[in-house]
Chain A
């Protein structure tokens, strides 16, 4: 079982990733409703609020995520609702506050993650986000260090690859940007052996770039 101090919050995780040159939707921690509203005003609407607690592993399942908040009133209301529903789901959770971030425009959802194999050490995973990862397990793996050539192959290996190429008139995702992101994540975990597991989930792949919308780092 993971001890809560080993689980970095979204804000902490994203800060580390950003430093490593991986694009993230930056999130700021708000410790009160007032702070949440003022950060939202600074960032510009719409925003997303998420519970920030190392004890809450499944944020959305416990009602800890609210998307597309269009103004200060909605942010304030969402703040209260998030806190009360998380407290119900995790009565013992120590809650830091909520993270505030701009609502990213929709893109193709993908996941990049890392876990450690007993025999081969850190391995990276790539897949399309959401149900495709969880139900269909349409994912590919490579051992770290992952080269750009490996990254190319692992993206093309998944069955859902045509979705990234632009399906039914959708614009294609920027695949080279995803390849570079994977290589950067590989370098990041190579330099930080104290990281035990990592999920960038989801990453939004756009025609021009790829940005991690949520991130979680678990330390050894």
Chain B
């Protein structure tokens, strides 16, 4: 599907050469930052800074005009004032640049009438000259595989999650959260006002891209709703599509006469559209990244029957009850374990002080050794009435009881268990006072492809989001 997009977008995500227009040798400008970023991440193609004064940036010669660049230019990043934009587009056409990304802002998002007019003129020039536009008002492309970072941003590992965002700030945040939580991106794009290439184009590309298995999107509006709707319908059929719609509360207060008109706010219509298209709607950065994380780790999985294991050392009672509520309230089932398994657990842990139902409180294992703890968890994981295992691991409680060494052994066991179980193992690591240890463990588990969340609510919601997609 949309295979033609692969070739069309090759110069955007895999350019052989990039020109950066608005690079200054003397002052720190966005253009210069881009040159430095591309240089430091080791972009494998040619980088051509273009600025008003000749000189050098990052050991690269600065050209005073795009047309003076000796080689071919696939992709241009533009960070110059909007007064010079149209002239620059002429240069791009003359130079046979394939795609131009405008960091430059101050168009329709600021001054509607003048901005739209300028955008129209840009679009006309681009269409005539066969140049594609990304933006304006955006930070463009992120492609770790081809070493293209966002400006002044770090490059994360290359992976299977693709994203698109109308907002540059949110695009950049997705990258940094991705680095922190091991959500590895195939590609990302911030497309701003999207006057030429817009959400539908990038969705089509990501659907066709063999490196992308899951797609996330942050959108605020669209200039072509019908096309977006139809594109999403097709894309969601082949890859999970998670969408966060921003600006939900800005309900257009139109003078509606019918009941329908008065109830059909923009937010509810977007929700309906996403549902109808088969996309997973999320409502925050947390939910977006949680869902992308779990989709990245658990491809082609679905299941609603959760086992909750808590009280690894102690404190399992109330927390397990709360964890059960969090799961049930977010669309999961917490079924009783099979009688055989309960029998096994009672032999392992004893009846007193344990909860052998589900949620399971295994805190009695602290008096019987880690082997007992591991065998108990292993047994629960094997129970055929269970699809997914959620483990509550409270570092604040574990650390004083088992010390660092014990903590490591416990997490080694989780990694080993996840490796030999085909049921997903998900770990919930709540924040607390032992934050540095918590982060270390989180990083280890994430590196071993175990999804980690800081609360049961967020874990349950993310799991439920996968099920929503699978059910569709």
Contact = CB atoms under 8 A, between A and B. Distances in A.
Interface of A: 1-2, 7, 57, 111, 113-115, 117-121, 123-125, 133-134, 137, 139-143, 150, 153-154, 197-199, 201, 216, 218
Contacts, number: 82
A117 B258 contact: no
B266 A117 contact: yes
Contact of A143 (B255, B260, B272): B272
Contact of B258 (A139, A140, A199): A199
Contacts of B263: 125, 133, 137, 139
Nearest to A143: B273
B226 interface: yes
B334 to A, nearest CB: 23
A121 B272 CA distance: 13
Interface of B: 221-222, 225-226, 229, 252, 255-261, 263-264, 266, 268-269, 271-273, 275-276
A105 to B, nearest CB: 23
Contacts of A142: 272, 275-276
Given A141-B264, A143-B269, A197-B257, 15 more contacts: A111-B260, A113-B260, A117-B264, A120-B225, A123-B272, A125-B263, A133-B259, A141-B268, A142-B272, A143-B229, A143-B273, A143-B276, A153-B275, A199-B260, A218-B258
B272 A201 contact: no
12 contacts: A117-B264, A118-B266, A120-B226, A120-B273, A121-B226, A133-B259, A134-B259, A137-B263, A139-B263, A141-B272, A143-B269, A150-B276
A51 B229 CA distance: 41
A119 B264 contact: no
B269 A120 contact: yes
A194 to B, nearest CB: 15
B258 A120 contact: no
Contacts of A117: 225, 264, 266, 269
Contacts of B259: 111, 113, 125, 133-134, 199, 201
Given A114-B260, A197-B257, A197-B260, A119 B221 contact: yes
Contact of A119 (B257, B261, B266, B276): B266
B225 A7 contact: no
Given A142-B272, A143-B269, A121 B264 contact: no
A51 B145 CA distance: 69
Contact of B260 (A2, A119, A125): A125
B259, B266, B273 — which one has the most chain A CB atoms within 10 A of its CB? Answer: B259
A143 B225 CA distance: 10
Contacts of B271: 141
Contacts of B257: 2, 7, 57, 197, 218
A118 B222 CA distance: 10
Nearest to B272: A141
B257, B260, B263 — which one has the most chain A CB atoms within 10 A of its CB? Answer: B260
